[in-house]
Amino acid sequence: MANPDQVRFWLREMRTPSLLIDNVRNWPAAARETLPIRPLLAHALEGDEAALEAALKNEEETERLRDRDYWLPLKRELERLRMSRYPE
């Protein structure tokens, strides 16, 4: 038996379409509460695995872009520090 915190975590983080669909079927109220945070759960609630898979791919790509944007200035700073410490 899952506790509410586990269910919310799974609904926010799970990336497998069939498992997400199973989880929203088991906990539809929690899924509806999580919709504002993760809108792709609407596809899981509808049982639309193809749309859910596409939305998950889009979510992953968006997250990768955000991650890249976050790390790019930090990588530049690290490179600058490295170059200042070990000039050629």
38-80 pLDDT, tens digit each: 999 999 999 999 999 999 999 999 999 999 999 999 999 999 9
* Residues of the domain holding 28: 4-85
pTM over 0.75: yes
Q: What is the mean pLDDT of residues 2-16?
A: 95
Question: What's the DSSP call for residue 86?
Answer: S
Q: Is residue 45 packed enough to be buried (19+ CB in 10 Å), middle (13-18) or exposed (0-12)?
A: middle
Using CA atoms, how far apart are residues 31 and 34, in angstroms rounded to an integer?
Answer: 5
Please give the tally of structural domains in the chain. Answer: 1
